[in-house]
Structure 1
């Protein structure tokens, strides 16, 4: 079958164990079984492909595997056979994957919906009537009647982090999420605060895959408009005191520079050896995303290669990347791995290297804004981001409920001042090296080995970069948790060892994030493969049979609207290039066909 995009619903906590079925313990025929059989007969009668998209097809496989076990295999084949690229072996292989993946909780409702959406009658579901709803009723001649429009597709509910992790988090993070009014809000506050803080631990590092890495992370929280992702803006306040300190430092440098410049101008031409003072760096933590490439790099370099891009509208960065002067996507990707960024400063006519850049990024926006920033799944940006896809809750929120006395701004400002004290402690001491214990290292490797194996099996190699970079993201989470523990313990020893509760919380978070990444991955537009245009000469050669004479090649040329004289010239050039062999007068052999057949034989062997 042709490749389709897959939205993995995998790695949830405590997956249900799938019973192995034999002829002796096959499930009895149930209402669901009977209904599915009737619907499939309708599909077969009309020869309808109800799942042209991979995501829909795979969900049918999950539903049948979960509901019927091995007996669902034949049903899966019967539904799949009307897809234009149907292949029996590949269909079997996919159902094996679905059985191994324990169904992932996809129910038969997905199958019923897809069948109905494709125009297949599902009226056989008499035992499961549609519940009454104002949404599916309409007015006709003043009388309210039930609508005949098909039901809307049930929303896919994305998992949230396990509640069990929150009491185990560092106390500072528990305070951050304490004001949340929903599970999603709690999750995005946790992620937003971790990523904002990741830009402010310049002396905390670890060794990962033999390389020195810091805590910096990239995050994109995505949801439809008004889903509540705006709450994450308060995470900016946690590190705002650091930005203010850097701006005050830059202000003082500028004042000194202006005094020195005035003195230089007064002495210029009057005294020998007077040097013009160098312009001071523009130090800051928050780097504007709406920037030219040179401007972004210069601000990052002025701040010793450290910075945080924090934008509540993800398309701000996307627009910068799409402009000719603002495309710093390459440096942005390099910064994730602390690779050197080089750029040219026109004003000073010099090349500048930013060695070991430490950039963190917090973005939020709609799914379309994700696509604007990351145009396709092959783009290296995708695998560098943590993605969190928020559920939309269609319930009015009590806008007057608050657990704080003076509002959230004051609450987060106080938390920002707490973190600022830790920042100063870390800044004024030496480097802090982070470590996982030997047992944690073993668990870490086994955990990600299993995830990688699952997703290569289910998704293929396209998703491997995401899994591998999630390993580095997990390591950085552990590093951040360990640094925040200093606020509780006061332990300023230069060796940070990850606590087991922080390590286990990280693995539970990653299990959820891999699902969210899969959801975003599945909604990225596939990169269109443009068909290669064959020129007239190529078409002519491929249209020639294996053995032919002049009359035959002129007939072929006529069908392709190639003049006779041109065709004769083509034949002459083909003979010179050993693409055609003239065996004797007016008898030719098309050697390109022989080469094609040889290649095919090698592939088959």
Structure 2
């Protein structure tokens, strides 16, 4: 190690951070660059001395993170070396040695303060307005797509930092981060907090919009982060069904002689719920998995098509699940009434800008305000398709990251539920930030965006929860997890910085819906003689407040409307929000 004097005057630090936080920031940069600072024994030893002197036992995790880039890294040997450093005295090396070595390796060691997040800003509506081209998806200029500032990647949980290291552009890195947060949120159901005096879990809803070939397909990499969780649930379910079939066979053979109770069918365990499920199948699967699930669909029109089918419109279920509200339904088998008291559903969708409008007709639809939106530009850049053309694929890299998360997932399942909280100072700043953001949203877009801004607050709280949860992955071995999970200041400010950008992208999606509405052909009114509209209105006005299929078919026959046409009208009225499907073969008017 060089004995060159460390010039403290050139070291610009954030004095509000703890030494541990500063080390975390710098090590995250080392990991992003995949630098080995331990190539010689002396450097490796002195890094151990530095971390042991400055952080004590807490530095052991950091020592492993630095050592793993050495080709001969061994976990047991690293543990032994760090223990020796802890027991050593009088070596004269301080924590400054770590920063000095990082600087010599070309790493930025300055821990500059994050920008002031007290005042949210958002461009005026005219700056994000989208001018549609008839018959084509909209592609606003690239400048209309803000990306997350570099500051948010300076100090992230290690798993997310590793995920983001595979980004090939600013937009792609942002998308991988949001995708990872969303899929991982579906598996953190041991952690909850209190928001608006209600218990909430980390679950997120995300829609990534982009034209074909813009790169949204890379979202499938994020699915690998929880593929192992899904596979484990399926393996467990296979064993349960094998046991059930064995017990069922024994029961069938012996019931005439010995009687006894028939064995109960096991639930269908899985993490991923297909978007093309019927409403009943979706709720059944959600109930079988104790309210926990992830809907991951890279083609948004799959869900749109499902919503347009008679038995597939579960938009109301998605809206309820976002707030963990009770979902009730009737099982066809045994005519059983089922209630899912605390659904914890995460949703990740992607599609073209037009598919957003097809899925969510307008901003007044409650589904719009529950989603995070992020739009990708279509850039005329050809990426090197043979870069890093080795045997190790991106899929295998993300599966390994998923394997790391799975170990944490198993550990989390064995612990008692954890309670998440913001500090008193963070709560004051949170309220001030979103009050300012709400005023910006009202000024730029009017009251239609009010619900989106308010739910962005809940989403921000949930993102803080995910960040804080993933910090627990750095706890070594069997170290007990804390009963209360308090958000770190860097994770809190990172989330607020993200919210400013995400509000802008929500504005883009909102303007897109407005443009679609204005460019859509105007419907002929009843007064202009539109027979179809007149017949639909006649059917609607003839319906009672609640009815079933037989009931609306009776009204249709009275009005001279064919049976299949009446079926289509009922689906259309449900999609318009004028009717709602209360249960299987049960409908009611909404009062709209």
TM tier, smaller: 0.5 to 0.7
Distance (Å, rounded) in 1 between the aligned partners of 2:122 and 2:233:
52
Distance (Å, rounded) in 2 between the aligned partners of 1:330 and 1:255:
36
Distance (Å, rounded) in 1 between the aligned partners of 2:227 and 2:360:
28
Distance (Å, rounded) in 2 between the aligned partners of 1:161 and 1:201:
24
Q: Which residue of 1 aligns with 2:150?
A: 163
The answer on 1:280 being equivalent to 2:266 is yes
Q: Which residue of 1 aligns with 2:301?
A: 315
In structure 1, which of residues 342, 358, 363 is the aligned counterpart of residue 344 of structure 2?
Answer: 358
In structure 1, which of residues 287, 294, 304 is the aligned counterpart of residue 290 of structure 2?
Answer: 304
In structure 1, which of residues 483, 494, 510 is the aligned counterpart of residue 483 of structure 2?
Answer: 494
Render the CA deviation track for 1:395-421: whole Å, top value 9, x for unaligned.
Answer: 111111239860111111110011011
In structure 1, which of residues 159, 180, 186 is the aligned counterpart of residue 167 of structure 2?
Answer: 180
The answer on 1:521 being equivalent to 2:510 is yes
The answer on 1:463 being equivalent to 2:449 is yes
Displacement, 1:102?
Answer: 9.3
Q: How large is the RMSD of aligned CA atoms in angstroms?
A: 2.7
Distance (Å, rounded) in 2 between the aligned partners of 1:277 and 1:507:
52
The answer on 1:330 being equivalent to 2:316 is yes
Q: Which runs of 5+ in 1 are unaligned?
A: 1-99, 118-151, 537-605
In structure 1, which of residues 394, 404, 415 is the aligned counterpart of residue 401 of structure 2?
Answer: 415
Flag the 1:341–1:175 CA change in 2: closer, same or farther, 3 A: same
Render the CA deviation track for 1:289-340: whole Å, top value 9, x for unaligned.
Answer: 1111111111111111100011111111111111101111111111000001
The answer on 1:432 being equivalent to 2:418 is yes
Tell whether the 8 Å contact from 2:460 to 2:499 is kept in structure 1 after alignment.
yes
Could you say which structure has the larger radius of gyration?
1
Mapping of residues 564-579 of structure 1, within 5 Å: none
Q: Which residue of 1 aligns with 2:229?
A: 242
Q: Which residue of 1 aligns with 2:428?
A: 442
Distance (Å, rounded) in 2 between the aligned partners of 1:266 and 1:153:
68
Which one is further off, 153-162 or 415-424?
153-162
Render the CA deviation track for 1:130-175: whole Å, top value 9, x for unaligned.
Answer: xxxxxxxxxxxxxxxxxxxxxx985553100001111211111010
Flag the 1:225–1:532 CA change in 2: closer, same or farther, 3 A: closer
Distance (Å, rounded) in 2 between the aligned partners of 1:267 and 1:330:
46
Distance (Å, rounded) in 2 between the aligned partners of 1:479 and 1:485:
10
Tell whether the 8 Å contact from 2:426 to 2:492 is kept in structure 1 after alignment.
yes
Q: Which residue of 2 aligns with 1:38?
A: none
Tell whether the 8 Å contact from 1:179 to 1:403 is kept in structure 2 after alignment.
no
Distance (Å, rounded) in 1 between the aligned partners of 2:408 and 2:141:
46
Distance (Å, rounded) in 2 between the aligned partners of 1:368 and 1:291:
22
Q: Which residue of 1 aligns with 2:552?
A: none
Mapping of residues 503-542 of structure 1, within 5 Å: 503-524=492-513, 525-526=516-517
Tell whether the 8 Å contact from 1:377 to 1:526 is kept in structure 2 after alignment.
no
Flag the 1:522–1:508 CA change in 2: closer, same or farther, 3 A: same
Q: Which residue of 2 aligns with 1:75?
A: none
Distance (Å, rounded) in 2 between the aligned partners of 1:154 and 1:499:
36
Displacement, 1:535?
Answer: 12
Displacement, 1:101?
Answer: 7.8
Distance (Å, rounded) in 2 between the aligned partners of 1:535 and 1:393:
45
Local SS of the residue matching 1:220: strand
Distance (Å, rounded) in 1 between the aligned partners of 2:412 and 2:505:
33
Render the CA deviation track for 1:30-77: whole Å, top value 9, x for unaligned.
Answer: xxxxxxxxxxxxxxxxxxxxxxxxxxxxxxxxxxxxxxxxxxxxxxxx
Q: Which residue of 2 aligns with 1:270?
A: 257
Q: Which residue of 1 aligns with 2:90?
A: none
In structure 1, which of residues 177, 196, 219 is the aligned counterpart of residue 206 of structure 2?
Answer: 219
Mapping of residues 91-170 of structure 1, within 5 Å: 156-170=143-157
Q: Which runs of 5+ in 2 are unaligned?
A: 1-119, 134-138, 530-592
Render the CA deviation track for 1:104-140: whole Å, top value 9, x for unaligned.
Answer: 6989xx99x99xx9xxxxxxxxxxxxxxxxxxxxxxx
Distance (Å, rounded) in 1 between the aligned partners of 2:483 and 2:225:
24
Tell whether the 8 Å contact from 1:404 to 1:411 is kept in structure 2 after alignment.
no
Distance (Å, rounded) in 2 between the aligned partners of 1:357 and 1:238:
22
Tell whether the 8 Å contact from 1:166 to 1:174 is kept in structure 2 after alignment.
yes
Q: TM-score under structure 2 normalisation?
A: 0.64
Tell whether the 8 Å contact from 1:222 to 1:389 is kept in structure 2 after alignment.
yes
Render the CA deviation track for 1:186-242: whole Å, top value 9, x for unaligned.
Answer: 001000000000000111000000000000001110101000111110101001111
